[in-house]
Amino acid sequence: MALLSFLGAIQQVTGSCYLIETHGGAKVLLECGMHQGRRQEEEGNRAPFAFDPGTLDAVVLSHAHIDHSGLLPKLVAAGYKGPVHLTEATGELLELMLLDAANLQEKDAEWESKWRARQGKPPVQPLYTRVDAERMLGQRTPHAYEETFEAAPGVQVTFFDAGHILGSAIVQLDIEDFGQTRRVVFSGDLGNANAPLMKGPTALRQADVLLMESTYGDRDHRDHQATIEELADILQQAHRDGGNVLMPSFAVGRAQDLIFYLGLLYQQGRLPQQAVFLDSPMAIGANKVYARFQDQLDQSHAQAIEGFDKGRRRIEKWLPILKSTQTAEESMTINRFKSGAVIIAGSGMCNGGRILHHFKHNLWRKECHLVIPGFQSRGTLGRSIVDGAQTVKVLHQRIAVNAQVHTLGGFSAHAGQSQLLDWASHFESRPELYLVHGELEKMQILRQALHERLDWKANIPEPGDRIAI
């Protein structure tokens, strides 16, 4: 019998990692994500892998987000030389994300080593370097959606569109052991069917074992149209108050959605600001990848919107007042705006990136508005602001949170509870169900909902649990 080990994103939302071992000796790693959030969780990134990377036959990756892919360069540095199977768009986005992650690791280690030197302590090594990331990128092996390939002897893999971000996949693994084939389906991150740019997640019907994400297992998102109206109101209010609007955002997925919504309001004459800054080199790069793979976006939605027609399909053209600030110098020019600007910058959970500089200039001003467009995991700066912190520490300074803080509930790139139940309900015979990628309380609520509405018993694995499949 083949074995599946739950190594990461178990009762939490980051560090996705699962290992499949067949009796015939094949070893396939599904995801190699980075832990993000609380310090002790991030320290987990430094722990040695729970397996010998040199013995893996293949790595399969659902999508480019760092919490699913961020430790791949470390895996390669630790001796993994085989293929990393992914979709073509994921491969391109991964290049942006991992080179950026490697630069951050190098800079952090350099900074910390400087401090340690003053205390007479030895320097720290980065988790991985740009060289490791570049070597890893050489191991990318792209596949089209719905094309089946053999990842390892007896392990056939097929990707299906998960509708979460460009290139995101639901991973189906057909595992042959002792002449029997067992099908494992891993949902990856499932998209929100209301998201404008992505198609809805593909419904699958057959599986023996199902691993389903549960980020929003406890609730449905706020009504989508109502959220657009709420955003329009915030923009009007900020215009009246004479302050800027800050939007911390993930560079891939969220930033493109925000540009879409701001463009929609612009086209309707409901965007009073003079400029929208996309202050994230990674998001600027991601826009280009989105433009290149536009056939994979939701065509029905794109065509329905004036201004999104052929030849004007690049996302930037949708919003003519969008200014992409690539360099640090360009970024600093934004500081001149005391009002009239919408600033989209990373990081999505405010624990790094250019958004911190904009916090320094705006967060203490009561006329400014901070729009939190998505989930903020525990231990992040974003979460403490959402939880009502009066002051926060930003770039070594304590700053008052006087800006008006708004949490928008309807723009998530993840399926809400009803959408998760709906996706799961397509499976014809009830597979063994394991909930992953979610905080424990949210999983418990989802488990209850699965029981009440679908009469389906879900399991919540513990970190390190291993099951026979």
Q: Which residues bind Zn ion (CB under 5 A)?
A: 65, 189
Position of tokens 């998102």? 221
Q: What is the per-residue DSSP string for 420-436?
A: HHHHHHT-SS--EEEEE
CB of residue 165 to Zn ion, shortest distance in Å: 6
Tell me how far, at minimum, the Cβ of 410 lies from Zn ion, in Å: 18
With contact defined as beta carbons under 8 Å apart, do 234 and 373 qualify? no
Smallest distance from the beta carbon of 396 to Zn ion, in angstroms? 30
Are the C-beta atoms of residues 403 and 246 closer than 8 Å to each other? yes
Compute how many other C-beta atoms are within 10 angstroms of the C-beta atom of residue 378. Answer: 14
* DSSP H/E element including 419: helix 417-425
Contact 190, 414 (CB under 8 A): yes
Name which of 14 and 158 has its Cβ closer to Zn ion. Answer: 14
Q: Is the separation of the CB atoms in 396 and 434 below 8 Å?
A: no
The whole-angstrom separation of Cα 448 and Cα 461 is: 15
Largest CA distance in the chain: 70
Report the residue number, 174 or 189, with the smaller CB distance to Zn ion.
189
In the complex with Zn ion, the residue whose CB is nearer, 22 or 36, is 36
Nearest-approach distance from CB 63 to Zn ion, in angstroms: 6
Tell me how far, at minimum, the Cβ of 235 lies from Zn ion, in Å: 27
- CB of 374 or CB of 431, closer to Zn ion: 374
Between vectors from CA 18 to CA 41 and to CA 373, what angle results, nearest 5°? 55
Based on CB atoms, which residue is closest to Zn ion, 177 or 189? Answer: 189
Going by DSSP bridges, is the β-strand pair 466-468/3-8 parallel, antiparallel, or unpaired? Answer: antiparallel
Query: C-beta of 34: minimal distance to Zn ion in Å?
Result: 12
Whose CB is nearest to Zn ion?
A: 65
Residue 65 or 383 having the CB closest to Zn ion: 65
Q: Which is closer to Zn ion, CB of 65 or CB of 447?
A: 65
Asked if residues 172 and 157 have their Cβ atoms less than 8 Å apart, the reply is yes
The minimum distance between CB 45 and Zn ion, in angstroms, equals: 17
Q: What size, in residues, is the chain? A: 469
| Partners of 19 in the β-ladder | 5, 29
